[in-house]
Amino acid sequence: MELAFGAVTASQAAPAEGAIELLTALLAVALVVALVAGRLRFPYTLALAIVGLALGLTGLLPAIELQPDVVLFIFLPALLFEGAWNIETPALRANWLIILLLAVPGLLIAVLIAALALHFGAGFPLLEAVLLSTIISPTDPIAVIALLRQLGLSSRLRVIIEGESLFNDGVGAVAFTITLSILLTLLQPGGAVAASQAGAIALQSLWLLVGGPLIGLGLGFLVTRALRYIEDRLIETAATFITAYGAYLIAELIHTSGLLAVVMAGLMLGSYGRRVGISDSARKAVENVWDFISYVVTSLLFLLLGVQIGDSLTAQALAPTLWATLGVVVGRTVIVYGALLPYNAIARWYRQRRPGAARGRPIPVPGTWRPLVVLSGLRGALSIALALSLPVTLPDRDLITSVVYGVVLITLVGQGIGLRVLLPRWPGLHDGHDGQPGRPAEHGSGAISKPSTQAP
């Protein structure tokens, strides 16, 4: 006999109760890990992933299958919006060129290098190798950023690493979508990419890269203008939440990049919206709410990533995983040194030609930062989500997924621990030693008063 609770029967409510119990247990584990990691000055997110891995390997938790829609729609928009909201926009503008070089052409070069390693080393068919490399090339430096903040190290280095990640997540997702579309077309009987299809794919690529940012900027601007006439911190906070997920939904609905839309919406609200649209009384409330959302989402995400990896590792994928890891590390090294060397040359040339110019002038990146920027290329949530979203009919899907798990594990744990050891001892990582004087002004400075909405 089933007992009804409103419109939900007891049998339907039981799985929901189990999910709530599991969620509560995971958050409790995250709280304990946070306390221990804080005392040890160990990266919190890295500690979560290691604990999750141990739980997955030992089977102490019930079987958990991380769904790609949960990561792409629930976790990533929250993390990307919070990152874009909190990033120091003056420093982002000052370092836009190096971030652009790393996030767009740099990512595409890294994809090519990793694909060559997978094709010639691991024996993947060329297009499958490209598809796998688009999954494992985007970076996820949440652990690195948290460690830089925890140790009080250079804000400029944080902005460069975080800015690159915000944008290359969207570019990587676009590259994955296009490559998967081509591969599925070729796998059909008599499949071939005709000239008309090639043109459509090119237009789709352009729309994915341009449409998402336009949606995010437009929505962020409209919400900002609307918020100027509202003096209610709860409504204003809810408006930022709706903007984050609304930008993603609208972009996906019109078949463009939801991740890029979220990033641009966060940048618009975090800079222009914070100064012009959000009231003084609401600004701190919005920051606190998004800090809490980011904490909860990050805690659950890294625990679940560890559990998923622990449940899914296979010995069969060991050799391809090593080739894939070699490809991403070599690719990361090439793009970092390949981008920073010409960038620094441009910065020095510009300084010689216009020695009095300050605003908008590119600033050389210290050479001692290059190895750290290479090591900051950890892989994480986006790679797992893209791998899980692969269609079940795709050849070698299970092998591709296992390789992705392995690369995420090696980079997250290996490079993460390496950075924890190196960062406190690395020279030139404090503000004032990065070629950029002082710290950018806080977001709250220069806020514009809102027009009164009350009748005279």
Question: Phi and psi (nearest 5°) for 255?
Answer: 60, 45
Match 């958050």 to its residue by tokens.
Answer: 27
Per residue in 414-436, pLDDT tens? 888 888 888 878 877 765 555 55
Reading the block at residue 45, the tokens are 């997110």
The whole-angstrom separation of Cα 129 and Cα 22 is 37
- CATH architecture assignment, domain 17-425: Up-down Bundle (1.20)
Supply the DSSP string of 202-220, one letter for each residue.
HHHHHHHHHHHHHHHHHHH
In this prediction, what percent of the chain has a pLDDT beyond 90?
A: 34
Residue type, 155: S
Degrees, nearest 5: CA angle 257-258-259: 90
Its pTM stands at 0.83
For residues 254 and 304, the answer to whether their CB atoms sit within 8 Å is no
Per residue in 1-32, pLDDT tens? 333 334 444 444 456 677 788 888 889 998 99
For residues 366 and 433, the answer to whether their CB atoms sit within 8 Å is yes
The whole-angstrom separation of Cα 55 and Cα 61 is 6
Residues contacting residue 206 through CB under 8 Å, at least 6 positions apart: none
Per residue in 64-87, pLDDT tens? 777 888 888 888 899 899 989 988
Return the closest-CA partner of residue 220 out of 184, 169, 272: 272
Question: Given this model, what pLDDT does residue 447 score?
Answer: 38
Match 């809810």 to its residue by tokens.
Answer: 238
The whole-angstrom separation of Cα 340 and Cα 352 is 18
CA 272 to chain centre: 22
| pLDDT at residue 166 tops 50 | yes
Question: Phi and psi (nearest 5°) for 5?
Answer: -115, 95
The whole-angstrom separation of Cα 230 and Cα 239 is 11
Helix (H, G, I), strand (E, B) or coil at 395: coil
Going from the C-alpha of 217 to that of each of 183, 233, 254, 277, the distances in angstroms are 32, 22, 15, 14
Banded model confidence at residue 189, pLDDT cuts 50, 70, 90: low
Name the CA dihedral angle for 114, 109, 92, 409, rounded to a multiple of 10 degrees.
0
Exposed, middle or buried, 137 (CB in 10 Å: 0-12/13-18/19+)? buried
Helix 76-86 and helix 381-388: axis angle, to 10°? 150
Return the closest-CA partner of residue 176 out of 414, 323, 383, 15: 383
Reading the block at residue 265, the tokens are 């919406």
Per residue in 317-341, pLDDT tens? 899 999 999 999 999 999 999 888 8
